């Protein structure tokens, strides 16, 4: 008999990770079934634990067999194996449950579901459950292997100890890195951070000058690692502080580069003009002393305006590496050293070789600094979208206490406080309205342009604006725990990630600078031994030009600048992207699979008609059905309950949920059945009289629910889930973009096909249970399709994980951040079309940047080495090379910023 192994996982962050690990485990021999969540893997089969863990590690994650459950329930009423299997299946169908180990007396649950939900599910299955206190709720999962007859447990923080919405970056550390200038710097910092014990992943972003570290490393160890690599670093604890420090750092850098560029260019141009007017660029006895003074002045200006190049190059050299600063330092230093050598010992050089290059060193430094200043300004513009999100939180709040109303800084607001909201206020925290009513502008959070009505008991979120009304708000989340803060952190995390296409740039960047230095030395040597007279001058020009024109900075910015702009633009259109890989995958899609309920429809079914039979009254059957559905938790049950509001509902005994069929109970000693036509047939209740009505309603997309009282058909409830307002127009738009559209639903084929016809869906998979949806996605993938699954992110979690891209529908108050690669903040289906177009635009922009950076260096370096000298008789001036280098970086950043104006069609 196969074993069931439950493993605690670390390192998984999104549905792509889940999909990757699932495929890796399924590829193992002797594996029958695999179920993976962000925190657990449940593996059924005879493969050894060692092989399973090795496979997890090879996939890039960490896994240990679990040893304590998150939640343990005491059970009563189970007396056979069927009871155990039924309870286990019921528990594992609950969102957030990765695995459940059930005996006749206990249930051990691995996952993040709430105890109240688990107990309610057990009761709905016809049994009783109580919560047993976890023995060690603060320890992270360790491990265990289980046979079907044995149970062992896992330790992890219990769901009841967590906030309702966990901070998605609770195990991430942000560093602000100062001193990075190119792709080589990024690789150095990343390697240094990854070498620290406890670091699982490190994402270093050149464009943002930041590092996002996942793991449990000590802060001082991370800072020391960055410093040892040659860069300054500090830990940023929150987004507001991050933004303020980053803005200040950027302003300081731009100001510094501007005055350095101005001073170096002013002196450099003055020296060049003086030399050109009097034909003094060649050293002679008459101007030797003047040039010596200029050489000393040049050295002082070089240190003042370019000292950072030489300092960073020296630090890199001590660490055994090389960066863009190394190239600039070598090029400008070689030009100055050659000039001062000619100046001091002119007799050692032939007359033709006594050309001086003091002005070249200054102008190179000035132009590169000017390029950096312009580049910083362009980078700053690329972060404006994220800053607009950050600016949504006001600095103060109006707190109501026993002392009256006082406006206090937002940092002093705590959970449980009561705030007053009035017209025009921007809400500073998440919370629940305790009195009053307001019209709320949620457009900046959800993209919904129409103001939303909110009243007592409803949740509101930080960043939204009160358009009209007044209310009191009880604070439920502040600071980094608000929905807005989680969105900002998700955007920040995505902007720091790298897609597969960026790995090529990283590999090249790792060897780029050393390769350029070698090319420069080889080119200079060739010109020195085989070039025309004066060989030493030509060799110097070629060597300096090659060193200066090579630009690892453009290479380092090509991918991250596009990602920053693309992720920010997607956020403006209501799409939260977890990582850059999702962008790349989304750009290659050809098939979009939609869940029906809650995605294409509102997910709020309504009873449209009630047909009664056998002399039963409408109010009577509605009260009985409403009473029975009080114990159920299903959209159709909620529809009947909503219809029965205001009626006196009778007491129900012996209530039971009949999985996939309906519910059963007793009222006034009468047996009541409520559910599908198949359920009626199962209990030998004739429903022939409604066959024609059911067929007609199904063809119109209506779901029939039958009620039987003491084996007599009593009523038929016609229930329809209205389509979303944007569903038809959004799917038409996707059709025009040449996507194949598929609907995946548990509904019967007749109803499903009726809705699909109304929507213009190409293909329908009907009658598919949630645990089988992933198999449909896998089948499409095997056929060669690139598939996105669009669902609610909870019931569709396995399918979201299996798809190439999982897109979770949500709202500002309920985002499936933990499971989806892409999350839509609103329920507007046009956001699906928007995000796939933005993904395509971002990938196209990335390719343009990488192509430009590669082509620039591929052509620039040979030209600087003198490739065209035989045809033109001239060499590339090092000053012109510095202009080309600066322009290459500015071009990459400017091209990426075009994405900020990208408008989906």
Let me know: does 178 contact 208? Beta carbons within 8 Å. no
Beta-carbon neighbour count of residue 95 at 10 Å? 18
Let me know: does 580 contact 501? Beta carbons within 8 Å. no
Residue identified by tokens 């059930």 is 102
Classify burial at 646, counting beta carbons within 10 Å of its beta carbon; exposed 0-12, middle 13-18, buried 19 or more. exposed
Q: What is the DSSP string of 9-36?
A: EES--SHHHHHHHHHHHHTSTTEEEEEE
Residues of 773-804 as b/e, b for ≥16 C-beta within 10 angstroms?
bbebbbebbeeebbbbbbbbbbbbbbbbbbbb
Strand-pair partners of 71: 109
Classify burial at 187, counting beta carbons within 10 Å of its beta carbon; exposed 0-12, middle 13-18, buried 19 or more. buried
C-alpha to C-alpha distance for 258 and 274, rounded to whole angstroms: 24
Overall residue count recorded for the chain in this entry: 905
Residue of 595, 792, 796, 804 marked active site: 595
Q: Cα–Cα distances in Å, from 435 out to 162, 420, 421, 820?
A: 27, 10, 10, 35
Alpha helices in 700-748 (DSSP H): 727-736
Q: Measure the N-to-C terminal CA separation of the chain; round to a whole number of Å.
A: 56
Let me know: does 730 contact 830? Beta carbons within 8 Å. yes
Tokens matching residue 160 = 């009841």
Q: Classify residue 814 by its DSSP letter.
A: B
φ and ψ of 660, to 5 deg: 75, 0
Residues of 47-85 as b/e, b for ≥16 C-beta within 10 angstroms?
bebeebbebbeebebebbbbbbbbbbbebeebeeeebbe
Beta-carbon neighbour count of residue 757 at 10 Å? 12
Let me know: does 800 contact 819? Beta carbons within 8 Å. yes
Q: Is residue 771 annotated as a catalytic residue, yes or no? A: no
Cis peptide, bond prior to residue 534, ω within 30 of zero: yes
C-alpha to C-alpha distance for 745 and 901, rounded to whole angstroms: 37
Strand-pair partners of 33: 44
Catalytic residue numbers, as ranges: 595
């Amino acid at each position: 008999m196969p074993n069931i192994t439950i493993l605690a996982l670390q390192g998984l962050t999104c549905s792509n990770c889940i999909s990757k690990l699932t495929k890796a485990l399924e590829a193992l021999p002797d594996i029958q079934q695999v179920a993976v969540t962000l925190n657990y893997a449940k593996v059924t089969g005879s493969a050894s634990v060692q092989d399973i863990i090795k496979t997890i590690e090879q996939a890039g994650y960490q896994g240990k067999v679990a040893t304590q459950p998150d939640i343990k329930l005491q059970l009563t009423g189970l007396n056979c194996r069927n009871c155990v299997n039924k309870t286990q299946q019921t528990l594992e169908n609950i969102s957030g449950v990765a695995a459940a180990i059930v005996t006749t007396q206990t249930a051990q649950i691995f996952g993040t579901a709430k105890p109240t939900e688990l107990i309610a599910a057990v009761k709905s299955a016809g049994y009783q459950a109580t919560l047993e206190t976890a023995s060690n709720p603060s320890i992270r999962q360790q491990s265990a292997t289980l046979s079907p007859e044995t149970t062992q447990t896992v330790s992890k923080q219990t769901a009841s100890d967590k906030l309702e919405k966990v901070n998605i970056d609770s195990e991430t550390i942000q560093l602000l890195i100062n001193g990075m200038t190119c792709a080589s710097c990024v690789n150095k910092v990343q390697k240094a951070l990854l070498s620290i014990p406890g670091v699982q992943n490190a994402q270093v972003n050149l464009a943002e000058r930041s590092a996002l570290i996942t793991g449990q490393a000590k802060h001082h160890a991370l800072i020391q690692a960055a410093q040892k690599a040659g860069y300054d670093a500090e830990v940023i604890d929150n987004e507001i502080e991050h933004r303020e420090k980053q803005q200040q750092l950027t302003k300081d850098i731009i100001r510094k580069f501007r005055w350095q560029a101005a001073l170096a260019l002013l002196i450099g141009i003055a020296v060049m003009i003086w030399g050109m007017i009097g034909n003094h660029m060649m050293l002679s006895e008459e101007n030797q002393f003047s040039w010596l003074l200029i050489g000393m002045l040049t050295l002082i200006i070089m240190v003042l305006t370019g000292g950072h190049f030489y300092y960073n190059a020296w630090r890199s050299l001590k660490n055994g590496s090389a960066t863009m600063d190394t190239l600039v330092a070598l090029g400008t230093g070689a030009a100055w050293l050659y000039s001062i050598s000619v100046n001091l010992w002119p007799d050692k050089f032939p007359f033709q070789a006594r050309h001086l290059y003091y002005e070249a060193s200054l102008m190179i430094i000035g132009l590169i600094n000017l390029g950096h200043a312009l580049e910083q300004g362009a980078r700053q513009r690329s972060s404006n979208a994220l800053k607009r999100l950050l600016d949504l939180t006001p600095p103060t709040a109006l707190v109501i206490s026993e002392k009256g109303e006082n406006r206090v800084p937002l940092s002093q607001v705590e959970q449980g406080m009561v705030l007053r909201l009035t017209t025009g206020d921007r809400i500073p925290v998440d919370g629940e309205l305790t009195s009053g009513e307001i019209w709320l502008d949620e457009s900046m959070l959800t993209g919904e342009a129409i103001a939303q009505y909110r009243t007592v008991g409803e949740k509101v979120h930080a960043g939204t604006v009160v358009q009209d009304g007044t209310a009191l708000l009880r604070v439920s989340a502040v600071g980094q725990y608000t929905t807005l803060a989680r969105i900002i952190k998700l955007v920040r995390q995505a902007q720091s990630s790298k897609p597969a296409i960026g790995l090529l740039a990283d590999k090249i960047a790792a060897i780029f600078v050393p390769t350029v230095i070698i090319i420069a030395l080889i080119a200079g040597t060739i010109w020195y031994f085989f070039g025309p007279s004066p060989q030493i001058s030509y060799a110097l020009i070629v060597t300096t030009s090659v060193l200066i024109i090579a630009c690892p900075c453009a290479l380092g910015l090509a991918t991250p600048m596009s990602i920053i702009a693309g992720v920010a633009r997607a956020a403006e259109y209501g799409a939260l992207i977890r990582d850059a890989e999702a962008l790349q995958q989304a750009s290659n899609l050809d098939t979009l699979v939609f869940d029906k309920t809650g995605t294409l429809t509102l997910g709020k079914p309504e009873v449209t008609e009630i047909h009664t039979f056998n002399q039963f009254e409408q109010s009577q059957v509605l009260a009985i059905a409403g009473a029975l559905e009080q114990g159920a938790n299903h959209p159709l049950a909620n529809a009947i309950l909503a219809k029965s509001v205001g009626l006196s509902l009778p007491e129900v005994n012996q209530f039971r949920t009949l999985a996939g069929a309906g519910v059963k109970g007793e009222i006034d000693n009468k047996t009541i059945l409520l559910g599908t036509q198949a359920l009626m047939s199962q209990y030998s209740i004739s429903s022939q009289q409604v066959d024609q009505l059911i067929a007609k309603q199904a063809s119109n997309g209506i779901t029939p629910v039958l009620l039987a009282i003491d084996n007599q058909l009593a009523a038929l409830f016609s229930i329809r889930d209205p389509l979303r307002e944007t569903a038809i127009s959004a799917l038409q738009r996707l059709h025009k973009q040449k996507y194949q559209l598929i609907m995946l639903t548990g509904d019967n084929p007749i109803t499903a096909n009726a809705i699909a016809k109304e929507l213009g869906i190409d293909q329908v998979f009907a009658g598919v249970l949630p645990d089988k949806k992933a198999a449909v996605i896998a089948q499409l993938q095997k056929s060669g399709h690139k598939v996105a699954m669009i669902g609610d992110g909870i019931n569709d979690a396995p399918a979201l994980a299996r798809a190439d891209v999982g897109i979770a529908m949500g709202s500002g108050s309920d985002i499936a951040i933990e499971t989806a690669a892409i999350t839509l903040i609103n329920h507007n289906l046009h956001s699906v079309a928007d995000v796939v177009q933005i993904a395509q635009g971002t990938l196209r922009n990335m390719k343009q940047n990488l192509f430009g950076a590669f082509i620039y260096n591929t052509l620039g370096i040979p030209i600087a080495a003198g490739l065209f000298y035989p045809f033109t008789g001239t060499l590339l001036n090092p000053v012109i090379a510095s202009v080309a280098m600066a322009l290459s970086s500015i071009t990459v950043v400017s091209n990426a910023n075009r994405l900020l104006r990208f408008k989906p069609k």
